[in-house]
A and B are shown apart, each in its own frame.
Chain A
Amino acid sequence: MNLRLRPGPALLALAWGSLLVGALYVVAMVYAAGQTLLAATMLAITALALWVYSSARTYAWRYLFPGIAAALVFVVFPMVYTMAIGFTNYSSRNLLEFPRATQYFLDETFHGGDGASYAFTLHEDGREFRLRLEDADSGKAWVSGRLALASTAPLEVQLAPQDPAQAPLAEAAQLKTVIARQKNLQALTLRLPDNDNKLVMTGLRQFGAVQPLYRQNPDGSLVNQQTNAVLRPNMSSGFYETETGERLQPGFQVGVGFANYQRIFTDRAFREPFIRIFVWTVVFSALTVFFAAALGMFLAVLFNWDALRFKGLYRTLLFLPYAVPGFISILVFKGLFNNNFGEINLILDALFGIKPAWFSDPTLAKLMLLIVNVWLGYPYMMVICSGLIKAIPADLYEASAVAGAGPLTNFWRITLPLILKPLTPLLISAFAFNFNNFVLISLLTGGRPDFLDTSVPAGTTDLLVSYTYRIAFQDSGQQFGLAAAISTVIFAMVAAISLLQMRFAKVAKD
């Protein structure tokens, strides 16, 4: 903002006013679209913004508001929402909310036996088509305007009585043309000028009237117009059910209390893989951190050694795994480790005559994950440890040299004790990071090879997060509710690790 050129107060008020009106308009639109929760959230944010930017008492919050709001809406809210989803049956079978599921049934139609039907012919007109319907009894005929018939999006078309004075239609198209356009024709709903029947394609040569399949009773139950069967919404199973208890798709979302948690902790078929995956998650994170830290620390100690030359070159080359984007290195390793064509197996085969099955043997797959993850992780430890070692006063080493101590004594008696304290909180964060190292698992093994004895697909190399991802988005029928419940359990674990981390960070500071 230029100091001399400031907008007048009237202009400013106008700008704020139009912004506010725009925001309210959007909120109204969202509300009209039936997304009440979203509309309420947006309204709350707008109101909060209005207060923050108009009250003098909230001056500091003018700077904080955009950032904090973004963090709350896109980081904190999803976490809270995840916990909430954990108490529902949200899944691919219970995807819709109740009103939308009801609407789905009310939108269904059927072609009744007594409904009118019309003989249909398709006529080419240039590159486009015209439809002609004829009532067999009265001989009356109707035609449409020109239609491209290129899209499968629903389209309503008004027909007009065929005018004998107009140029006659082309010869009726052959059946194969109709079949070729069947998908497009099925998307059409035709209307005749003299009644409100909705006509849809009911055969290759026929369009017929359809009527809604279900009628809603005041008590919320639905009556099937064809069979007179009554459907009642079951608010604990999340389905419309017939009197015999048969469930009809689509289901809707309902709260199920602690059912998902019950499944995780008490269902045997589910608990066993869960515990095995949890143990592997802990082992994987701990071993990764241990080996990466050991290698990184060793390198940092080496680079602190005056007698060693070319340190800069070594350090730059050994830093490379950290600089290359993780997803690329991981995929490179996926190719190099490939059982049949991978270069690592080609070399092992040439040298020792072995071809380890890295991706189908659980133990080898785990070993591979550890190798790759240490390769990815040690440069960070190296950089951190180098920094910490630099801070150790040199006279300590001089004194120990005078006392005749060797490098091993130096390391165990001086270096390690001095860097371990500030290093511990970083090691714990590294542990927490690898605890949730979804990218590595997802890109390298995808959790495979799978356990053979589980009800829900679970992999021997799956971490808890990748397991959750599979339940939610891959091969288990999108059980969002269950996945969210597992996520909530992981939240609790991460929170515990964080508490530990903060305690050690405090110790390191003191």
Chain B
Amino acid sequence: MAIVLDKSHRWRVLAAHAFLIALVALVIFPFLMILSISLRPGNFAAGSLIPETLSFEHWKLALGMSYTAPDGRLVKPDFPVLLWLWNSVKVASLTALVTLTLSTTAAYAFARMKFHGKRAALSALMLMQMFPAVLALVAIFAIFDRIGSVFPFFGIDSHASLLLAYSGGIALHVWTIKGYYDTIPVEIEEAAKVDGATPWQAFRLVLLPMAVPILMVVALLAFIGAIIEYPVASILLHEEAKLTLAVGSKLFLYDQKYLWGDFAAAAILSGLPITIVFILAQKWMISGLTAGGIKG
């Protein structure tokens, strides 16, 4: 656009930069603060943003190592942060795998087959998405309490119960994958069928390899969704060694036992990998997000 740039325009650019820099400072402040706190000695120490004395005690505790305090006491980690991280990663990976399997197959039927009640089923899936699991916590607790009295492996305080509870959350993913299948020309599969492939083979050997990008997106969304899920995990898991990060992290900040510094190190240790995964995948995510997903 060839528009005359007057003086007020220059001022506006400057004002915009000033505003954005101030906003960035506000947004980044908690992150820088938490980094600084994780490197300060003690759990109550106040100080400037750049710590005067560096101490790695919180990091050692977060990594599960003990350290010797200045007064000669041996301080042991209060909470098994790495174990929680492992629990979270384990549950989330399995959830991603199960969700992917269930939603790719269902989406295939929705995209390529004719059957009775297809439109109703699709709308029902969309509607399900509106009701968060947090509204059904009482029932979820009662169901797994009951299952657990017969199969302790799937009962309260088991990771299997969490996996099962998460496995039903496929509604949004079915829609996302179906949308992608719809953009792939059906002629390729039909050609395969003419050559004698069964529908299963057309799906498994022709369509799936072409849909890998969306499968990656859905797997990542399911993975992150399970990592950050808090309500269901908080009622199904109680034993300290079984907790996921989302449930365990809050134990650091009880008024009676306030481990601010230890929390800071644990938060960076566990939050950074998830954040990096999220930012790297951001490009793909945007397309998935605009389909209506909201992060919790």
Q: Considering residues B142, B200, B289, which has the most beta carbons from chain A within 10 angstroms of its beta carbon?
A: B142
Q: Is the CB of B137 within 8 A of A473?
A: yes
Known contacts A319-B282, A320-B28, A327-B228; is A308 also within 8 Å of B139 by CB?
A: no
B290 to chain A, nearest CB (A): 6
| Stretch among A11-19, A74-82, A130-138, A158-166 lining the B interface | A74-82
B binding-site residues for A, Cβ under 8 Å? 1, 3, 5, 9, 12-13, 16-17, 20, 23-24, 27-28, 30-31, 33-34, 37, 44, 46, 101-103, 105-106, 108-110, 113-115, 121, 125, 127-128, 130-143, 146-147, 149-150, 164-171, 174, 197, 199-201, 203-205, 224, 227-228, 230-231, 234-235, 245-246, 249-250, 252-253, 258, 260, 263-264, 267, 270-271, 274-275, 278-279, 282, 286, 289-290, 292, 294-296
- Out of B9, B128, B150, B235, name the residue touching A30 (CB < 8 Å): B150
Q: Is the CB of A331 within 8 A of B27?
A: no
Residues of chain B within 8 A (CB-CB) of A483 are: 138
A417: interface (CB < 8 Å): no
Q: Is the CB of A38 within 8 A of B168?
A: no
Residues of chain A within 8 A (CB-CB) of B204 are: 1
A38 to B30, CA, bound (A): 48
**Can you offer 26 A-B residue contacts whose CB atoms are under 8 A?**
A3-B201, A33-B149, A33-B150, A38-B147, A64-B115, A67-B103, A67-B105, A70-B102, A72-B168, A75-B133, A79-B135, A81-B139, A82-B139, A308-B17, A323-B275, A324-B271, A324-B275, A326-B295, A335-B260, A335-B264, A336-B33, A341-B258, A343-B33, A384-B290, A484-B139, A494-B135
Q: Is the CB of A317 within 8 A of B24?
A: yes
A478 to B27, CA, bound (A): 39
Q: Is the CB of B135 within 8 A of A82?
A: yes
Q: Is the CB of A398 within 8 A of B146?
A: no
Q: Is the CB of A78 within 8 A of B133?
A: yes
Residues of chain B within 8 A (CB-CB) of A380 are: 289, 294-295
Known contacts A1-B200, A85-B142, A473-B235; is A325 also within 8 Å of B136 by CB?
A: no
Q: Is the CB of B34 within 8 A of A332?
A: yes
Q: Is the CB of A71 within 8 A of B128?
A: yes
Q: Is the CB of B165 within 8 A of A318?
A: no
A64 to B103, CA, bound (A): 9
Give the residue name and chain of the B residue nearest to A41 (CB). B143
Known contacts A314-B24, A329-B30, A333-B30; is A465 also within 8 Å of B134 by CB?
A: yes
A430: interface (CB < 8 Å): yes
Q: Considering residues B110, B132, B228, B263, which has the most beta carbons from chain A within 10 angstroms of its beta carbon?
A: B132
A432: interface (CB < 8 Å): yes
A72 to B106, CA, bound (A): 13
Give the residue name and chain of the A residue nearest to B49 (CB). A343
Q: Is the CB of A326 within 8 A of B167?
A: no
A156 to B9, CA, bound (A): 89
6 smallest CB-CB distances across A and B, nearest first, come from: A74-B168, A67-B106, A78-B136, A67-B102, A63-B109, A81-B139
Residues of chain A within 8 A (CB-CB) of B23 are: 299, 318
Residues of chain A within 8 A (CB-CB) of B271 are: 324-325, 328
Q: Is the CB of B228 within 8 A of A498?
A: no
